[in-house]
């Protein structure tokens, strides 16, 4: 059992909650119970914050260095109801010890919260029931909070992604690739977006026949095309080969048509994200991979990335070593034994191979795993991020997520379990988190290449769970359309784009056409401490980053100088109107240094 | 045996050295042999560089990403003769394989170099002899290169450290502390500097009596005094307690006199750097530690830092995992098993405790280990670096090294083995390197707190071995004086201070009175990849740091604006001389942002 970490201590005999410094009346507890009904935040905790969190017992966990900074400052717990994965009563009537009776709340964001409660009365039962109902609305026929949320923003994040525009940006349609509406009502593939890009030479009838041979009808469609060499990244699910080694002429021909969209290529490269043995094992359930015999003009490579279950267990081990206590004496070997960074390494290595193949112009690439909505989304989106600097801007990244993850049916509802009480559901897995972790690793290695900062990535992850926005709800576009998500909920991008400055990396230097190859070796990968260990007060928060501070000061100074120069020039020219002595406009002076603020 | 890493391949039958692209005539080999005689660089390698290093076989070690950047650029090996630790002939007459016959050169800076040579003739024997003679001049009655070096610099680094000035900066002498010249001719303690700071109330006679009870007469003397609370850091060697538990009234009284230099203090804190058991074991050879019985007004704590032999073996293990191949599959646990970061952690933790005790004003601190020249120097200098921002400037750091390490007799000659052929000498140990590593860890955690950059630290380490400068030669001040080192050699600080810009951290923000407490936990300590793994082409060199680049561009832009503003003001006032419209001087506009360039 994890140790008590944050624990409001039990009420006094007088019916008061006791903190280390003050007592709070019991009405507060009831007030918070009533607050929970409406908002997305877990006001159980938040409601109390105005008057300091009750009875935080952090002292025993602090070093002398942290004493000064933490003990005297308010500690804030901000827990959206959506982040709750599990609520358990702890301690029975016979339990002893001051903090052993209460509630244990497991969160999806690496936290466990424990609240020690008064045993008298039924306050715990009430709290448990109300919390359970609102944390898991699906089980109680209640709406997810995003449908109740009436926040207003001055920009509409739902407008960020328009597939036609995004494909047009890529130069599509062109002579070889066409946009098809064959999936307009999701009748070809119910987990794919309505709009798809396919080879010009493949007819709608061809697509329907190929769909019969691909798991869940997820046929190969274009994700990205190289602006110069015109090689492409194509994504799909595994072929339905099965134990008997079935073949499908239409599928084979279709892959050849994809290859032929680029004349110079003799072989199409297929990256199967799975380990070889897993791909073989999938034959038992009707799946499999493209054999050399059937696909003459293709080369297949396995990328050895493990499945959702392995990733889930790996992240659990990470949690074990960082929360509530950080393993210190064998930190490095403990971290290694979680295999988390090793998985990150394999995902990045796979994406680098995809990007390198396409960037070199040697071959187009087809990527799939089993169903093509987990590892495939990781690989295509990371490769696109490496290849296309547009996706490294804030809006570009939002589009990338909307396109490769949301529209192509990464099963957010199943992987996260929004509003669902089955915390042990085997469908849950941190695949999207792993992708964001890979992006963070890239941003560490290329600190000037991304318009967004770490806070942007953390905010995305926070709202992956929060249920405050509709962005990550449901498993696919067709379900989202049925639920009218874009009409009835707010987009996460509304929050972000209405206050972009908070999420900007001041060091960003836009570079068109630069392909980023991160180094995917263990010596260059780091545990994302600011995300995974952020709840631990022993981890020093380097906020704000002093280097960033210095840079921002200098930017402000530059702006001040520009203003002064302009004033001075104005004064000068107004008085004399002598063009020969007036310098050029300050903003034109050194154009190679860009302004991002 | 380590793998061949850089290897010029054997001559062709026509008597030519063969590279992957070109052939070089044999006369080059002879030319290089003659060049070796004079300069400090190992021109064996350097002489060939003008025409590309012969036959570098790096291809098999490269990823596809590194292919492009490395294979086509010149690879430079720059090996000072002083860095050579060991030269071995490899392969006999019977050895097979193209690269198995030649020379294997072990360096003190984590490198091994192997050169495959032609078996015919006696070129190897000649090379071996000439190299050995010049790499190990002590064994051949030859002078160390620093005494031959005739470089000239426009500043004299020997002027950087003046102990009287440094103590005056600290406010010394004062009512409680006096400067004594009792050791002017090194007759009190031959490994201490001539100038010492001792309590005003201790007479020279007292000092002489205390010296009899301290290992190698290294009596407690002041290293640093807190400018406000006047607590001090005092350093010394262990007391000569021995098996019988000897006591010395003069020593006991002397420590009490130190305590009483500050009225508020009831106990003097003694930090014994060693593990408890080692301190006990030292009694067998006449040493030991201050017992509670004898020293009533003192509290003793052990800091658990291991001795020079443990550190040497630990660094050897680091070398094993990074050179010539970097351990990848179990990088984290391999790194852990070297214990290097754990040792770093213990040294930093000890220094933090010293700094915290003094900063809080709770007690003065006495630091010792066995002889007081290894761990003691680490602890006092790191604590001083945490406490006193002056030492975080370039000149301040030079003074810190001159004072706590060079003048107080860290045995550089024995620890490094300058010019000495006994590579297995048990006196060798990377204690100073470990200190510099700790400084680097601090600079990573406080990126704006140090005036110097990483290159400064690496340069110091390179010349710790190079023998180009006199700075790190000999074991103590008395030996240096006998050899007239300051007259006959150049100081490393001459090189650095004559080109300071190269070593400046652009993010430096001077903060007076800020005490730095680094976090000494495994999660915050990193292997110093840019130092320990810099010879490995697989390690991506992030030079130049793009964030630093951006910052420097912005600084240049600011300077440009200031210049334009001044020109414009000048033009304006020259024409109109109307003071009411002329803005204030641009350099006064935002004084909180400092200019460091």
Q: Tell me the chain A residues in contact with residue B552 when contact means C-beta distances shorter than 8 Å.
A: none
Averaged pLDDT score across all residues of chain A: 82
> For testing the chain B interface, which of A352, A508, A523 should be mutated: the one with the most B CBs within 10 Å?
A523
The conformation of residue A214, written as its DSSP 8-state character, comes to B
Distance CA B66, CA B540 (A): 8
For residue B541, pLDDT over 60 is answered with: no
Average pLDDT (B114-124) is: 66
Question: pLDDT exceeding 90 applies to what percent of chain B?
Answer: 61
Contact A593 B448 (CB under 8 A): no
Same-domain status, B282 and B424 = yes
Cβ pair A194, A184 in contact under 8 A: yes
Active site residues of B: 369
Cβ pair A240, A215 in contact under 8 A: yes
Distance from CA of A546 to the nearest CA of B (A): 7
Confidence category of residue B576, pLDDT binned at 50, 70, 90: low
Q: Tell me the chain B residues in contact with residue A519 when contact means C-beta distances shorter than 8 Å.
A: 65, 540
For residue B337, pLDDT over 60 is answered with: yes
Q: Which residue has the higher pLDDT, A49 or A260?
A: A260
Distance from CA of A441 to the nearest CA of B (A): 15
Confidence category of residue A116, pLDDT binned at 50, 70, 90: low
Largest CA distance in chain A: 92
- Asked whether residue B277 is assigned to any structural domain, the reply reads yes
**Closest-CA residue in chain B for A505?**
B547
Q: In B124-143, which positions are buried (b, 16+ CB within 10 angstroms) versus exposed (e)? A: beebbebbbbbbbbeeeeee
Contact A550 B553 (CB under 8 A): no
Provide the pLDDT for residue B29.
Answer: 39
For residue B225, pLDDT over 70 is answered with: yes
Which is it for strands A196-199 and A177-180: parallel, antiparallel or unpaired? antiparallel
Of A507, A571, A586, the CB nearest to B550: A507
Average pLDDT (B73-98) is: 68
Average pLDDT (A31-41) is: 34
- Is residue A50 part of an annotated ligand binding site? no
Residue closest to B378 by CA, chosen among B508, B481, B496, B233 = B233
Distance CA B320, CA B334 (A): 10
Provide the pLDDT for residue A432.
Answer: 98
Query: What length does chain B have?
Result: 597
For residue B327, pLDDT over 90 is answered with: no
Same-domain status, A111 and A255 = no
- Asked whether residue B296 is assigned to any structural domain, the reply reads yes
ipTM of the complex: 0.81
Provide the pLDDT for residue B188.
Answer: 98
Question: pLDDT exceeding 90 applies to what percent of chain A?
Answer: 61
Q: Where are the beta strands (DSSP E) in B265-369?
A: 268-272, 298-302, 365-368
- pLDDT per residue over A203-242, tens digit each? 999 999 999 999 999 999 999 999 999 999 999 999 999 9
Confidence category of residue A149, pLDDT binned at 50, 70, 90: confident
The conformation of residue A406, written as its DSSP 8-state character, comes to I
Positive or negative CA dihedral for A77, A81, A83, A88?
positive
A533 touches chain B (CB under 8 A): yes
For residue A44, pLDDT over 60 is answered with: no
Of A335, A550, A555, the CB nearest to B448: A550
Average pLDDT (B552-566) is: 88
> For testing the chain A interface, which of B304, B564, B596 should be mutated: the one with the most A CBs within 10 Å?
B564
Listed range (A217-226, B56-65, B224-233) with the worst mean pLDDT? B56-65
For residue B279, pLDDT over 60 is answered with: yes
Confidence category of residue B74, pLDDT binned at 50, 70, 90: very low
Distance CA B405, CA B385 (A): 13
Provide the pLDDT for residue A245.
Answer: 95
Q: Work out the number of other CB atoms within 10 angstroms of the CB of residue B99.
A: 20
Of B356, B547, B590, the CB nearest to A64: B356
Token pair 């025993």 is found at A60
Average pLDDT (A308-336) is: 92
Same-domain status, B485 and B556 = no
Distance from CA of A365 to the nearest CA of B (A): 18
Distance from CA of A258 to the nearest CA of B (A): 26
Distance CA B204, CA B120 (A): 69
A534 touches chain B (CB under 8 A): no
Average pLDDT (A258-276) is: 94
Distance CA A26, CA A24 (A): 7
For residue A341, pLDDT over 80 is answered with: yes
Distance from CA of A332 to the nearest CA of B (A): 5
Average pLDDT (A458-476) is: 95
- Is residue A17 part of an annotated ligand binding site? no
Give me B80's structure tokens.
Answer: 């000072």
Binding residues of B: 307-308, 369-375
Cα atoms found within 13 Å of the Cα of residue B212, Cβ hemisphere only: 9
**Closest-CA residue in chain A for B552?**
A551
Provide the pLDDT for residue B36.
Answer: 33
The conformation of residue B24, written as its DSSP 8-state character, comes to E
CATH number of the domain residue A124 falls in: 2.30.29.30
For residue A279, pLDDT over 50 is answered with: yes
Average pLDDT (B413-433) is: 97
Same-domain status, B179 and B235 = yes
- Asked whether residue B212 is assigned to any structural domain, the reply reads yes
Best mean pLDDT range from A10-14, B1-5, B538-542: B538-542
Of B65, B333, B547, the CB nearest to A547: B547
Same-domain status, B113 and B222 = no
Q: How far apart are the first and last CA of chain A?
A: 48
Provide the pLDDT for residue B383.
Answer: 98
A566 touches chain B (CB under 8 A): no
Distance from CA of B570 to the nearest CA of A (A): 11
Same-domain status, A178 and A220 = yes
Contact A522 B555 (CB under 8 A): no
Distance CA B392, CA B387 (A): 10
Contact B562 A564 (CB under 8 A): no
Cβ pair A10, A117 in contact under 8 A: yes
- Asked whether residue B547 is assigned to any structural domain, the reply reads no
CA B498 to each of CA B465, B471, B493: distance values in angstroms, whole numbers, following the listed order: 21, 16, 8
Provide the pLDDT for residue B77.
Answer: 56
Binding residues of B for substrate: 307-308, 369-375
Same-domain status, A444 and A578 = no
Residue closest to B451 by CA, chosen among B462, B461, B463, B439 = B439
Chains A & B: contacts with CB separation below 8 Å: 164
For residue B590, pLDDT over 50 is answered with: no
Contact B564 A583 (CB under 8 A): yes
Same-domain status, A435 and A584 = no
Give me A182's structure tokens.
Answer: 């064959």
Distance CA A80, CA A533 (A): 18
B515 touches chain A (CB under 8 A): no
Same-domain status, A242 and A330 = yes
Contact A522 B592 (CB under 8 A): no
Q: Tell me the chain B residues in contact with residue A576 when contact means C-beta distances shorter than 8 Å.
A: 575-576
Same-domain status, A427 and A490 = yes
> For testing the chain A interface, which of B62, B328, B346, B547 should be mutated: the one with the most A CBs within 10 Å?
B547
Backbone dihedral angles phi then psi of residue A576, each to the nearest 5 degrees: -115, -30
Give me B283's structure tokens.
Answer: 């009694």
Of B546, B565, B571, the CB nearest to A447: B546
Q: Tell me the chain B residues in contact with residue A445 when contact means C-beta distances shorter than 8 Å.
A: 540
Is B367 exposed, middle or buried (CB count within 10 Å of its CB: 0-12, 13-18, 19+)? Answer: buried
- Asked whether residue A126 is assigned to any structural domain, the reply reads yes
Distance CA A363, CA A356 (A): 10
- pLDDT per residue over A52-105, tens digit each? 222 222 222 223 333 333 333 334 456 777 888 998 987 765 555 555 677 788
Q: How many domains does chain B have?
A: 3
Does this model's pTM top 0.90? My answer is no
Q: Which residue has the higher pLDDT, B68 or A139?
A: A139
- Asked whether residue A464 is assigned to any structural domain, the reply reads yes
- Is residue A356 part of an annotated ligand binding site? no
Distance CA B47, CA B32 (A): 6
Same-domain status, B246 and B169 = yes
Q: Which residue has the higher pLDDT, B194 or A35?
A: B194
Same-domain status, A422 and A282 = yes
B280 touches chain A (CB under 8 A): no
Contact A569 B564 (CB under 8 A): no
Distance CA A303, CA A272 (A): 6
Contact A554 B551 (CB under 8 A): yes
Distance CA B361, CA B363 (A): 6
Contact A333 B328 (CB under 8 A): no
A26 touches chain B (CB under 8 A): no
Best mean pLDDT range from A9-23, A319-333, B122-136, B490-504: B490-504
Give me B198's structure tokens.
Answer: 């001792």
Which range of residues forms the domain containing residue B116?
Answer: 9-135
Average pLDDT (B389-418) is: 98
Confidence category of residue B588, pLDDT binned at 50, 70, 90: very low
Confidence category of residue A539, pLDDT binned at 50, 70, 90: low
- DSSP conformation letters of B181-244: -TTTTS-S-TTS-S-EEEETTS-HHHHHHHHTTBGGG---EEEEE-TTT--EEEEE--B--TTT
Q: Among A107, A236, A369, A438, which one carries the catalytic annotation?
A: A369
- Is residue A312 part of an annotated ligand binding site? no
**Closest-CA residue in chain A for B582?**
A568
**Closest-CA residue in chain B for A518?**
B65
Positive or negative CA dihedral for B182, B184, B186, B192?
positive
Distance CA A6, CA A79 (A): 13
Q: Tell me the chain A residues in contact with residue B523 when contact means C-beta distances shorter than 8 Å.
A: 326, 328, 331, 527, 529, 533, 539
- Asked whether residue A511 is assigned to any structural domain, the reply reads yes
Cβ pair A280, A243 in contact under 8 A: no
- DSSP conformation letters of B45-91: HHHHHTT--TT---GGG--HHHHHHHHTSPP----BGGGEEEEEEE-
Q: Which residue has the higher pLDDT, B76 or A507?
A: A507
- Asked whether residue B188 is assigned to any structural domain, the reply reads yes
Average pLDDT (B285-292) is: 96
Of B527, B569, B575, the CB nearest to A576: B575
Q: Which residue has the higher pLDDT, A86 or B90?
A: A86
A335 touches chain B (CB under 8 A): yes
> For testing the chain A interface, which of B550, B569, B586 should be mutated: the one with the most A CBs within 10 Å?
B550
For residue A170, pLDDT over 80 is answered with: yes
Taking only Cα atoms into account, the Rg of chain B, rounded to an integer number of angstroms, comes to 27
- Is residue A375 part of an annotated ligand binding site? yes
Distance CA A457, CA A440 (A): 8
What residues 60-119 of chain A have any CB closer than 8 A to a CB of chain B? 64-65
What residues 567-586 of chain A have any CB closer than 8 A to a CB of chain B? 567-569, 571-572, 575-576, 578, 581, 583, 586
B330 touches chain A (CB under 8 A): yes
């Amino acid at each position: 059992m994890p140790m008590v970490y944050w624990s409001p201590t039990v009420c006094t005999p007088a019916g008061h909650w006791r903190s280390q410094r003050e007592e709070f009346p019991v009405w507060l507890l009831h007030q918070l119970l009533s607050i929970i009904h409406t908002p997305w935040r877990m006001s159980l905790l938040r409601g109390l914050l105005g008057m300091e969190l009750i009875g935080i017992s952090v002292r025993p966990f602090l070093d002398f260095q942290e004493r000064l900074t933490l003990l005297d400052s308010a500690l804030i717990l901000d827990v959206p109801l959506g982040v709750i994965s599990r609520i358990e009563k702890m301690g029975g009537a016979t339990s002893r010890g001051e903090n052993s009776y209460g509630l244990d709340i497991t969160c999806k964001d690496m936290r466990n919260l424990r609240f020690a409660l008064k045993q008298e009365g039924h306050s715990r039962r009430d709290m448990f029931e109300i919390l359970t109902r609102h944390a898991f609305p699906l089980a109680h026929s209640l709406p997810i909070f995003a449908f109740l949320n009436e926040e207003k923003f001055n920009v509409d994040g739902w407008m960020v992604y328009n597939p036609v525009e995004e494909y047009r940006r890529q130069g599509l349609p062109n002579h070889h690739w066409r946009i098809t509406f064959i999936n307009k009502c999701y009748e070809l593939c119910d987990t794919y977006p309505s709009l798809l890009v396919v080879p010009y030479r493949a007819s709608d009838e061809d697509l329907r026949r190929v769909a019969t041979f691909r798991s869940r009808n997820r046929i190969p469609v274009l994700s990205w095309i190289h602006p110069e060499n015109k090689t492409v990244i194509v994504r799909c699910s595994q072929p339905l080969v099965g134990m008997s080694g079935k073949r499908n002429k239409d599928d084979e021909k279709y892959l050849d048509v994809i290859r032929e969209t680029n004349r110079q290529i003799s072989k199409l490269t297929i990256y199967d994200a799975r380990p070889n043995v897993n791909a073989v094992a999938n034959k038992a359930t009707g799946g499999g991979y493209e054999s050399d015999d059937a696909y003459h003009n293709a080369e297949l490579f396995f990328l050895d990335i493990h499945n959702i279950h392995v990733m889930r267990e790996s992240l659990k081990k990470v949690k074990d070593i960082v929360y509530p206590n950080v393993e210190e004496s064998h930190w490095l070997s403990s971290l290694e034994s979680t295999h988390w960074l090793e998985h990150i390494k394999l995902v990045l290595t796979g994406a680098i191979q995809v990007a390198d193949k396409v960037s070199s112009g040697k071959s187009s690439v087809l990527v799939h795993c089993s169903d093509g909505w987990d590892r495939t989304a990781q690989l295509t989106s990371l490769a696109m991020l490496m290849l296309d600097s547009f996706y490294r801007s804030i809006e570009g990244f939002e589009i990338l997520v909307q396109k490769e993850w949301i529209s192509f049916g990464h099963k957010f509802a199943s992987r996260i379990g929004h509003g669902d009480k089955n915390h042990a559901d085997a469908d849950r897995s941190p695949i999207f988190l792993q992708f964001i972790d890979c992006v963070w690793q890239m941003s560490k290695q290329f600190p000037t290449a991304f318009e967004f900062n770490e806070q942007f990535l953390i905010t995305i992850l926070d709202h992956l769970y929060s249920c405050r926005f509709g962005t990550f709800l449901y498993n696919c576009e067709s379900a989202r359309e049925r639920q009218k998500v874009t009409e009835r909920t707010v987009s996460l991008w509304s929050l972000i784009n209405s206050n972009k400055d908070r999420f900007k990396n001041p060091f960003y230097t836009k570079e068109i056409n630069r392909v980023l190859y991160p180094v995917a070796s263990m010596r260059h990968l780091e545990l994302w401490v600011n995300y995974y260990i952020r709840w631990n007060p022993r981890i020093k928060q380097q906020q704000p980053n002093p280097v960033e501070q210095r840079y921002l000061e200098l930017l402000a100074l530059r702006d001040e100088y520009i203003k002064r120069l302009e004033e001075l020039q104005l004064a000068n020219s107004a008085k004399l109107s002598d063009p020969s002595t007036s310098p050029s406009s300050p903003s034109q002076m050194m154009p190679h240094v860009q302004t991002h603020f």
